[in-house]
Chains A and B, each alone.
Chain A
């Protein structure tokens, strides 16, 4: 089955700097890659996703890139703000077929 590895497990950045979180997956058939953000004490929420026919997707300060050959995808947050502090989860699956497999999460701290 699918296996998703996520790095780093913790990340601290200065406010205004960029943050990058990387994930690798094992099943080459996977074609859907969402990212969820979980603020302290709250439920996970989808922030961005990418499908395998796209190499990069951007939404304001966040972007996701996908390299299907290398089987890895990354979340990029630019101009970080304190409200970006949260746990971020990547996930992968075969769209419409199997449930999501989540990475173990990255705790991002943005220091003001």
Chain B
């Protein structure tokens, strides 16, 4: 059974703080994704990675960076958190970039005050 885990379910940070969100998958998937989910806006892709140390910008990369040092782990970094980054963050993994089922993590609800 595929398992995608995220480091926190809920997180509260202050404006200007550096924030790390961690995602780990145990299925040896090549591809990993970070989305943010906001009411009425659906799932928007922030960054994705198709291999270790590789990263590609998604639709809304501004204010975010990522790191993938190991195949199973994909980190999302908010260099200087802002209130407009308050959101639900979902990580996903799949065996391929597209055309393959994406398995999502439980999500991290981040509040920036």
Contacts and interface: CB of A to CB of B under 8 A. Distances in A.
Interface of A: 6, 9, 32, 34, 36, 42-46, 49, 51, 89, 93-105
Interface of B: 4, 33, 40-45, 48, 58-59, 90, 96-99, 101-102, 104-107
Contacts of B41: 104
A104 B40 contact: yes
A8 B58 CA distance: 26
A34 B98 CA distance: 10
Tell which of B41, B58, B99 has the most Cβ of chain A within 10 Å.
B99
A42 B48 CA distance: 22
Contacts, number: 57
Contacts of B4: 43
Tell which of B4, B97, B106 has the most Cβ of chain A within 10 Å.
B97
B106 to A, nearest CB: 5
Tell which of A49, A51, A96, A99 has the most Cβ of chain B within 10 Å.
A99
Contacts of B59: 101
Nearest to B96: A96
Contacts of B99: 32, 51, 93, 95-96
Please classify the interface of chain B as helix (H, G, I), strand (E, B), loop, or mixed, using the class held by over half of its residues.
Answer: loop
A93 B42 CA distance: 16
Contact of B98 (A44, A89, A96): A96
A104 B38 CA distance: 9
Contacts of B105: 43
Nearest to B91: A43
Tell which of A43, A51, A94, A105 has the most Cβ of chain B within 10 Å.
A43
A49 B98 CA distance: 12
B35 to A, nearest CB: 8
Given A32-B98, A44-B90, A102 B107 contact: no
B40 A99 contact: no
A99 B48 contact: yes
Contacts of B42: 6, 89, 102-105
Contacts of A103: 42
